[in-house]
Chain A
């Protein structure tokens, strides 16, 4: 029997290949992020002072919504074609495969969102000194959101209309990340130190990294067998 880590690597490789073959799924959340942020100046007026003040919060809320949008796909296609059941009956720890899938999900949505955020920051005239905080907080925050979201995706994978339900059960759990992420950017925009917020985000990511794959694996066993 091969090492459990080879399961992790194999799942990683397979899911990465799949993600690159279905580029539409990867691009859609990004396009949503871009369009949704474009709506803000159209709705509120292009006044620079206003945009500057709300930019950190807006970018963070939209990143959260874009992540939510992509969560339903996390296990859905594997559930539909039966490969999820193969993972469930394999002798390897399921949480490892879940961790690999979540990692790919983050690479395909969280990371591009993070890379795109400075561009949107420029469009919303975010002060230059806040860009570092924006990228750093989004790196930590989107990873934690992918992990926590995987629990919601796993709980609802057996349901036809899981999409709205995921948002309903995952959004309250995202609140701490949203608070500290937006707060990091806001503090940086004021020119103050934001290490505390980053430390809390990192702590949240660490907790999620340990617990979320286990919880999501348990949830998958419940919702696939049931």
Chain B
């Protein structure tokens, strides 16, 4: 079996040069789909019978929620790959995941409470889902804090990879426990509008938005990783060439 592609993945230079060509495509498709899904969802999807127009925040809230959860798993998996195969690139991806994930969870929490005010009549409710996303943002904060605490970059990488892996075991546990905690203690005084089957005319724009946000996440992740590559490889000749504007020669 040919494993060359896998070893090449470990090379920051290969990644940097390869993604150069992807960037315009990702950029166009991310913004294009965001625009299509956004306009479709916000302007053309039918109004919800019970929540009227306030439900439309779903088209941002739900996709970002999916992506921010996937981001944690990506962080943990790339940390594991870095630990096991001792590659440089996965650690850079892992490091890039933490601030992006924190930003995404903040968007989830903010859009959630903006939706909560007209629907539940309160900005914050200790609801299982809200609480578990709050905890997810704490986990991202911990990962960022640990990364920044070390002077030695190698130690920081491996330590935060271990923390990310420990968190990966814990996320399902936290998710479930918060869920049970809610049903154990809080009789459902504020009921979300029943989880009725969503109409297709509402669902299609949601699909578009989910795909759009995943592509957007990929784009941002690649941009962060590229920055990290330049920072870490700043002593190598190929980075110096790029910075000094001899990029064309390096790419061929």
A positions within 8 Å CB-CB of B: 151, 155-156, 158-159, 161-162, 165, 168-169, 171-173, 175-176, 179-180, 183, 186-187, 200, 204, 207, 211, 215, 218-219, 222-223, 225-226
Q: Contact check: which of A151, A158, A169, A175 meets B135 at CB < 8 Å?
A: A175
Residues of B within 8 A of A161 (CB): 149
A151-B162, A222-B158, A226-B154 are known contacts. Are A165 and B135 too (CB-CB below 8 A)? no
Known: A179-B181, A225-B155; 19 extra A-B contacts, CB below 8 A, are A151-B162, A151-B163, A151-B166, A159-B150, A165-B149, A169-B142, A169-B146, A172-B138, A172-B139, A172-B167, A172-B174, A175-B135, A176-B177, A204-B173, A207-B169, A215-B166, A222-B155, A222-B159, A223-B155
Q: Contact at B174–A176, with CB atoms within 8 Å?
A: yes
Chain A min CB distance to B74 (Å): 19
Residues of B within 8 A of A207 (CB): 169, 173
Residue of B nearest to A222 (CB): B158
Instruction: Say whether chain B's binding surface is mostly helix, strand, loop, or mixed.
Output: helix
Chain B min CB distance to A180 (Å): 7
| Interface check B170, CB cutoff 8 A | yes
A175-B135, A179-B178, A223-B155 are known contacts. Are A155 and B169 too (CB-CB below 8 A)? no
Residues of A within 8 A of B174 (CB): 172, 175-176
Q: Contact at A155–B181, with CB atoms within 8 Å?
A: no
Q: Contact at B177–A175, with CB atoms within 8 Å?
A: yes
Q: Contact at B149–A183, with CB atoms within 8 Å?
A: no
Chain B residues 173 to 204 lying within 8 A of chain A, measured CB to CB, are 173-174, 177-178, 180-181, 184-185
Q: Contact at B135–A218, with CB atoms within 8 Å?
A: no
B positions within 8 Å CB-CB of A: 135, 138-139, 141-143, 145-146, 149-150, 152, 154-155, 158-159, 162-163, 165-167, 169-170, 173-174, 177-178, 180-181, 184-185
Q: Contact at B178–A155, with CB atoms within 8 Å?
A: no
With the chains together, A226 CA to B151 CA distance in Å?
Answer: 10
Residue of B nearest to A197 (CB): B184
Residues of B within 8 A of A176 (CB): 170, 173-174, 177
With the chains together, A175 CA to B180 CA distance in Å?
Answer: 12
Most buried by B among A158, A169, A176: A169
Most buried by A among B159, B180, B185: B159
Q: Contact at A155–B162, with CB atoms within 8 Å?
A: yes
Q: Would you give 14 A-B contacts (Cβ < 8 Å), ordered by A? A: A156-B149, A158-B155, A169-B142, A169-B163, A172-B135, A172-B139, A172-B174, A173-B166, A175-B178, A176-B173, A179-B180, A183-B185, A223-B159, A226-B150
Residue of A nearest to B143 (CB): A169
Q: Contact at B145–A165, with CB atoms within 8 Å?
A: yes
Q: Contact at B142–A172, with CB atoms within 8 Å?
A: yes
With the chains together, A151 CA to B155 CA distance in Å?
Answer: 15
Q: Contact at B162–A219, with CB atoms within 8 Å?
A: yes
A165-B145, A176-B177 are known contacts. Are A215 and B158 too (CB-CB below 8 A)? no
A176-B174, A180-B177, A215-B162 are known contacts. Are A169 and B145 too (CB-CB below 8 A)? yes
Chain A min CB distance to B62 (Å): 23
Chain B min CB distance to A53 (Å): 12
Residues of B within 8 A of A156 (CB): 146, 149
Residue of A nearest to B177 (CB): A176
Residues of B within 8 A of A211 (CB): 166, 169
With the chains together, A108 CA to B142 CA distance in Å?
Answer: 27
Residue of A nearest to B158 (CB): A222
Chain B min CB distance to A69 (Å): 18
Residues of A within 8 A of B150 (CB): 158-159, 226
With the chains together, A208 CA to B57 CA distance in Å?
Answer: 39
Residues of A within 8 A of B162 (CB): 151, 155, 215, 218-219, 222
Residues of B within 8 A of A187 (CB): 184
Residues of B within 8 A of A204 (CB): 173
With the chains together, A159 CA to B163 CA distance in Å?
Answer: 15
Residue of B nearest to A226 (CB): B155
Residues of A within 8 A of B145 (CB): 165, 168-169
Most buried by B among A156, A179, A207, A219: A179
